[in-house]
Amino acid sequence: MKKGFWLFEIVLVLVIVFTACSNPEPENIETSVFDTEVKNDEADTAFALQSAQYRSLVFNAEEQPNSMLEAYRNVLFREKVIEFFGAIIYSNELAELVLKEAEERNINPALALALSWEESRFNQKAVNRNLNNSIDRGLFQLNSSSFPNLKEADFFDPATNTRYALAHLRWCLDYAKSDVAGLAMYNAGLNRVRNGETPKKTLDYVSRILNASQKIEELFLAEMSIWIAEEEAEAAALAAAEEEPDPIVLIPVDSLALAWAGFLSTYP
């Protein structure tokens, strides 16, 4: 009986050991969608950027350089940018005025252009009389109360109107810290926006400007991709031309004979 009991215990121990070796306890590995490195080249989907980079591109978009200003500052594209804006305004001269002032004050040219369209439809002689007896005039509809030192002729002068308008817009944007609030201040005034009294018509006004600005930017980027392709093709053609050997000029036999005779005549 005792011998059989010990034999049973030995068999039981062997079964336990075999079971433990056959079924090891799985490791507890914590993984993250963004932290896991994709090592399989045939994986269907892989993030090209890390999470922090995506967040930076999305939430810090305002810190990115403006492509229109960068192109305008580039001698290769400056005239093309002027022509692009001129095609929208129907005047390269007015386009250059807007671009010059926008570049000087680091304002998105698309935003400036959309503002002028909303205010006057690019009409230099536009006039609007307000209920408080003030008058809005010119390309950017400068208000007579807001700019009391300007003469009537100044309001209708495109260069003066654009300069004062974009200087004022720059101040609004800096004070408000956003395009939305800055444009609202340009339209409704500082106090109404600061006190939370922005009317719905001003919000609609801001929405129209931002939508137009976005469309201008999208069209511009499409055009600029063509400009870049043209510049690259031209540069490649020039490089290829420089690599070609100089053409061989065949001199007629008679000319060779005369040249040789002339060479020999130099010797005594």
Residue type, 38: V
> Is 266 inside a domain boundary?
no
Asked if residue 164 is part of any domain, the answer here is yes
For the chain, strand residue ranges (E) read: 127-129, 135-137, 142-143
User: Residue 184's closest CA among 166, 172, 170, 174?
Assistant: 172
Whether 74 maps to a domain, the answer reads yes
Whether the CA torsion 140, 143, 146, 151 is positive or negative: it is positive
User: For the chain, how many structural domains are there in total?
Assistant: 1
pLDDT digits (tens, 9 = 90+) for 142-178: 999 999 999 999 999 999 999 999 999 999 999 999 9
Judge whether 49 lies within some domain.
no
Residues 6+ apart with CB under 8 A from 174: 182
> What pLDDT does 41 receive?
47
Output 185 or 3, whichever has higher pLDDT.
185
* CA atoms of 6 and 16, how far apart (whole Å): 16
In a domain, 1, yes or no: no
Q: Where residue 163 sits, what CATH number does that domain have?
A: 1.10.530.10
Closest Cα partner for 166 from 93, 90, 115, 95? 115
171 in any annotated domain: yes
CA 91 – CA 121 distance, rounded (Å): 13
Tell me the pLDDT tens digit for each residue of 100-123: 999 999 999 999 999 999 999 999
Q: What is the pLDDT of residue 238?
A: 82
Identify whether the C-beta of residue 136 lies closer than 8 Å to the C-beta of residue 116.
no
Q: What is the DSSP code (8-state) at residue 121? A: T
Higher pLDDT, 33 or 100: 100
Mean pLDDT calculated for residue range 121-136: 94
* Domain presence at residue 170: yes
Domain that holds residue 121: 65-226
Is the Cβ–Cβ distance between 160 and 166 less than 8 Å?
no
With respect to residue 197, please indicate whether it lies within any of the assigned structural domains: yes
Average pLDDT of the chain to the nearest whole number: 80
